[in-house]
């Protein structure tokens, strides 16, 4: 059985990094002359005070949205956030650390249109968005992009408006900001009602620099490849896509600039550009060679090479449907996992690495090694509950329903933070619905317990919490139709009504909370 993407990777906050350009010799080349600070002077959740200080000082606000368990968030903590040059750069900002489990954080995340962890948003003192960046980016590129953004006061929406209508009026720095922008974590906030792929193609046609043109074209290709209703490209479109990929992959700076896009969506991009296995194989080979060259230059090369083997496995399975992964590739995957495991020594490094390693092991069919790695990590991790849904998935895959539910229950019991507890609680209820659908009492009791989590969350029915409850409502309604659960849903609706007034102030959130299980 091919492993599904594990829970740890499904909850990655921003799946793709969006804003990379040419690499610099040092991650902090643009800030190396700045005085060294010991740590970033984060404000924790005091967003209103931050904007007050921003208006007085004239500094922009740097809003970081993350979570303690999020792997790419921990990568930032292990690398960029410890870099003296980057720490010094943040002195040009009012930096705000917004953890998704802090009081009011989900409402603020909704207010600022944050799609997932980690995201960095730069806002001027009047709250106009200067840019947003996917937090999984290369450290050098994040530093460069934030160095540019620190001195700007033009909202990115205004830059885009001019670029669409009068691209010749857009300055070089403005084009850079549009290229840096985290389109993959935009959630249509900047693009609005426009089709993202069409908008990006328009920018590709208007951008003044060839590398930036290819950057936008690659983003457009990625948007087309990931759409739910993608139509097969025409032969002309395939040829254009193949020429684009071939050119980008031959330019090391552009590969580094688009590393995560090429890694995560690389196989889909190859499939979009090549119709047959005979065409896909050489293009996939170019992709892998380019990623390996780019990864060799990174400080965390072991972790990066773990990522590239995921791409290699995806390409192989794409080109050889239902075929067994060859022994040489299996051995490479194990070697990469072992190297990444050994290289990750600090808590932040391990949280950033282990879920990826587990996914690699499952992709080569070694569930036993994946489980062994997860079990060992429970004793080392500061957030062991994070890995338990993966252990539940492994137990379910081998048919052990009791063990799967026990892991989900333990994960929920151990989860820390209000938004996280709701998320893990929903996973437990979903497990009960899936694995014990006839146990209506257990399903009702567990759901009521998750609803009770809202009682401790003033203004908590927002963003990720609201999304999780809406997902759970859909599953419960489907379950009810098959298992005569109307009375159960009625009692749960009543229980939810008790929590809504406190958890969902504001017309939109209150209406959504009141509609739970009713629509």
Q: What is the CATH number of the domain that holds 149?
A: 3.40.30.10
Of 321, 415, 334, which Cα lies nearest the Cα of 369? 334
For the chain, the domain total comes to: 2
Say which DSSP state 166 is in. -
pLDDT of residue 459: 82
Which residue segment(s) compose the domain that 90 sits in?
A: 1-193
Note whether residue 519 is domain-resident: yes
Distance, in Å, from the CA atom of 213 to the CA atom of 151, rounded to the nearest integer, reads 24
pLDDT of residue 32: 39
pLDDT of residue 336: 95
Distance, in Å, from the CA atom of 392 to the CA atom of 403, rounded to the nearest integer, reads 7
Note whether residue 297 is domain-resident: no
Note whether residue 294 is domain-resident: no
pLDDT of residue 503: 82
Note whether residue 124 is domain-resident: yes
Note whether residue 258 is domain-resident: no
pLDDT of residue 50: 95
Note whether residue 125 is domain-resident: yes
pLDDT of residue 190: 87
Distance, in Å, from the CA atom of 13 to the CA atom of 397, rounded to the nearest integer, reads 25
Distance, in Å, from the CA atom of 291 to the CA atom of 310, rounded to the nearest integer, reads 11
pLDDT of residue 510: 86
pLDDT of residue 29: 37
Note whether residue 293 is domain-resident: no
Distance, in Å, from the CA atom of 357 to the CA atom of 338, rounded to the nearest integer, reads 9
Say which DSSP state 171 is in. -
Whether cis (ω within 30° of 0) applies to the bond prior to 118 is yes
Distance, in Å, from the CA atom of 96 to the CA atom of 432, rounded to the nearest integer, reads 38
pLDDT of residue 4: 46
Sole residue written with tokens 């929406």:
157
Note whether residue 207 is domain-resident: no
Dihedral sign computed on CA atoms, order 131, 134, 137, 139? positive
Q: Is 63 helix (H, G, I), strand (E, B) or coil?
A: strand
Sole residue written with tokens 């200067």:
130
Per-residue pLDDT of the chain (519 residues; tens, 9 = 90+): 444 444 444 433 333 333 333 333 333 333 334 444 489 999 987 899 999 999 999 999 999 999 999 999 999 999 999 999 999 999 999 999 999 998 888 888 888 888 788 999 999 999 999 999 988 767 888 899 999 999 999 999 999 999 999 999 999 999 999 999 998 888 778 888 889 999 999 999 999 999 999 999 999 999 888 766 678 899 999 999 999 999 999 999 899 888 888 988 999 999 999 988 889 999 999 999 999 998 887 766 677 889 899 999 999 998 888 889 999 999 999 999 999 999 999 999 999 999 999 999 999 999 999 999 999 999 999 999 999 999 999 999 999 999 999 999 999 999 999 999 999 999 999 999 999 999 999 999 999 999 999 988 888 898 889 999 999 999 999 999 999 999 999 999 999 998 988 888 777 888 889 899 986
Q: Which of 160, 175, 193 is the last residue of a domain?
A: 193
Residue 18: burial class (beta carbons within 10 Å; 0-12, 13-18, 19+): buried
């Amino acid at each position: 059985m091919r492993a599904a993407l594990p829970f740890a990777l499904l909850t990655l906050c921003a799946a793709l990094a969006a804003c990379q350009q040419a690499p610099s010799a040092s991650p902090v080349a643009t800030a190396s002359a700045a005085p060294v600070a010991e740590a970033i002077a984060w404000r924790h959740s005091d967003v209103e005070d931050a904007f007050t200080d921003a208006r007085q000082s004239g500094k922009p606000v740097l809003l970081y949205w993350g979570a303690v368990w999020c792997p790419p968030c921990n990568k930032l903590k292990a690398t960029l956030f410890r870099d003296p040059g980057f720490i010094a750069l943040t002195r040009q900002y009012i930096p705000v650390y917004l953890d998704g489990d802090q009081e009011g954080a989900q409402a603020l995340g909704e207010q600022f249109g944050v799609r997932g962890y980690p995201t960095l948003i730069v806002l001027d003192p009047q709250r106009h968005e200067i840019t947003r960046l996917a937090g999984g980016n290369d450290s050098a590129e994040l530093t460069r992009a934030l160095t540019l953004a620190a001195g700007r006061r033009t909202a990115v929406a205004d830059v885009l408006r001019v670029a669409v209508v009068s691209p010749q009026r857009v300055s070089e720095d403005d084009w850079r900001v549009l290229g840096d922008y985290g389109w993959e974590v935009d959630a249509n906030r900047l693009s609005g009602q426009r089709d993202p792929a069409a908008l990006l193609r328009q920018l590709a046609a208007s951008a003044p620099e060839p590398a930036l043109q290819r950057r936008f074209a690659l983003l457009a290709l990625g948007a087309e490849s990931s759409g739910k209703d993608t139509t097969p490209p025409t032969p002309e479109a395939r040829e254009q896509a193949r020429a684009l990929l071939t050119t980008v992959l031959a330019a090391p700076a552009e590969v580094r600039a688009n590393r995560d896009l090429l890694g995560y969506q690389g196989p889909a991009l190859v499939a979009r550009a090549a119709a047959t296995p005979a065409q896909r194989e050489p293009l996939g080979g170019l992709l892998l060679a380019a990623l390996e060259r780019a990864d060799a230059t990174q400080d965390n090369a072991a972790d990066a090479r773990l990522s590239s083997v995921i791409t290699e496995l995806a390409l192989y399975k794409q080109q050889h449907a239902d075929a067994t992964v060859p022994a040489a590739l299996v051995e490479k995957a194990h070697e990469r996992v072992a190297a990444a495991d050994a290289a990750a020594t600090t808590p932040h490094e391990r949280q950033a690495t282990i879920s990826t390693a587990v996914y690699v092991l499952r992709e080569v069919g070694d569930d036993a090694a994946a489980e062994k790695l997860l079990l060992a990590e429970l004793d080392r991790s500061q957030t062991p509950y994070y890995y338990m849904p993966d252990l539940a998935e492994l137990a379910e895959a081998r048919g052990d329903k009791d063990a799967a539910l026990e892991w989900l229950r333990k994960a929920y019991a151990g989860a820390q933070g209000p938004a996280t507890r709701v998320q893990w609680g929903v996973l437990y209820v979903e497990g009960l619905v899936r694995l014990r659908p006839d146990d209506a009492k257990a399903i009702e009791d567990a759901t009521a317990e998750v609803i009770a989590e809202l009682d401790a969350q003033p203004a908590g029915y927002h963003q990720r919490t609201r999304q999780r409850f809406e997902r759970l409502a859909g599953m419960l309604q489907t379950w009810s139709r098959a298992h005569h659960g109307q009375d159960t849903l009625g009692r749960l609706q009543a229980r939810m009504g008790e929590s809504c007034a406190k958890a969902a102030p504001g017309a939109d959130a209150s209406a959504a909370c009141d509609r739970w299980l009713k629509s």
